[in-house]
Amino acid sequence: MATSWLEAFDLGDREVAVQEPHEERAGVFRRLREGLTRSRKALTVELSASFTERIDESTWEGIEEALILADVGAKTTAAVVRRLEDEVDAGEVSGGEALRERLIQVLAETASPGDGRIHLPERPSVLMVVGVNGTGKTTTIGKIAWHLQKELGLDVIVAAADTYRAAAVNQLAEWAARAGTQIVRGTEGGDPGAVAYDGVAAAQSRGADVVICDTAGRLHTHGNLMEELDKVRRVIAKQLPDAPHETLVVIDATMGQNGVRQAEEFAKSVDVTGAVLTKLDGSAKGGVALAIAQELGIPVKLIGIGESLDDLRPFDAEQFARALLEE
């Protein structure tokens, strides 16, 4: 799994001028642990009596309750516990600490349903970002643009296709200025599809590497707005074959299982290829990453564990599981 921004992307055959500062793995893990403090504390309280040398029915009840409270989801929790029970019964795992380590490994595998990289192999490649208002979608776009431009040396254009909210356009413009990226915007209340079209056209004419297309934040229950989202996708696809090359749905971790349902509904309207899980530092429901991956088959590709640029991180399933469960 990706532990650096370069590893997080599949950029095809493009030459990348990596300017990413060397970052010690221990430093990344420490920040992740700090960001997941609430989730880890909640799990630790519930699991404290489970990892004893004696493994019995109360062990499985404790693990099951802890995972459900962390919003891993009933279906995923049942599968994880059943797998552990089978391994213990077969004599493959014995003792509390061995069980803890095996749970970490199983959770990491559960959170990795496929390739966790963000695939942007073409020039230009299009990354479309969708999600409900308030999830941190626009900020996430700005941070991705910054990392691509400043650390990987790519030429990035952001398309401000959230034309319904002036604040979103202004916020994206501030991030574009900070990252040194170009921005394409339309008129307030204008056609989002037209902005997406202009963004791709600008990238083609200027030889840019990546277009990141913002979209209007919308409730997944608003059918007409979801249809409009599909229209934006079709506009992009007409300009470039196989585009958008990635579609990321941004989910607020504090929403728990409702976030899973949001991701599921967005996936019905557009081909969601990955999730960005934000606000993990403010949530005790970090297990929602596993629910999204296991129940929907959508890999979590990025996570937000704070407000700074470095707190948007490529998702590493094993690191994540250890940060949740290791004391």
Residue 42's CATH number? 1.20.120.140
CB 315 within 8 A of CB 303: yes
* End residue of a domain, out of 110, 127, 145: 110
Q: Per-residue pLDDT tens for 118-174?
A: 999 999 999 999 998 889 999 999 999 999 999 899 999 999 998 888 788 898 999
Domain that holds residue 187: 10-14+117-316
Residue 153's CATH number? 3.40.50.300
Calculate the alpha carbon distances from 215 to 31, 130, 163, 196, 296 in Å.
30, 6, 8, 9, 22
Q: Per-residue pLDDT tens for 196-242?
A: 999 999 999 999 999 999 998 766 456 677 788 889 999 999 999 89
79 occurs within a structural domain: yes
- With residues binned 3-state (H G I as helix, E B as strand, rest as coil), the percentages for the chain, rounded to 5, are 50, 15, 35
Report the predicted TM-score, pTM, of the whole model to 2 decimal places. 0.92
The partner residues of 125 in beta bridges, in order of sequence, read: 210
Q: Which of 245, 250, 244 is nearest to 312 (CA)?
A: 250
Largest CA distance in the chain: 67
Q: What is the pLDDT of residue 311?
A: 87
Same domain, 271 and 151: yes
Q: Which of 20, 12, 27, 106 is nearest to 63 (CA)?
A: 106
Q: Which of 215, 246, 211 is nearest to 228 (CA)?
A: 215
- Report the domain count for the chain: 2
Q: Per-residue pLDDT tens for 9-62?
A: 999 888 776 665 545 556 778 888 888 888 888 888 878 778 877 888 999 999
Same domain, 231 and 293: yes
Same domain, 271 and 214: yes
Residue 218 structure tokens: 């919308």
21 occurs within a structural domain: no
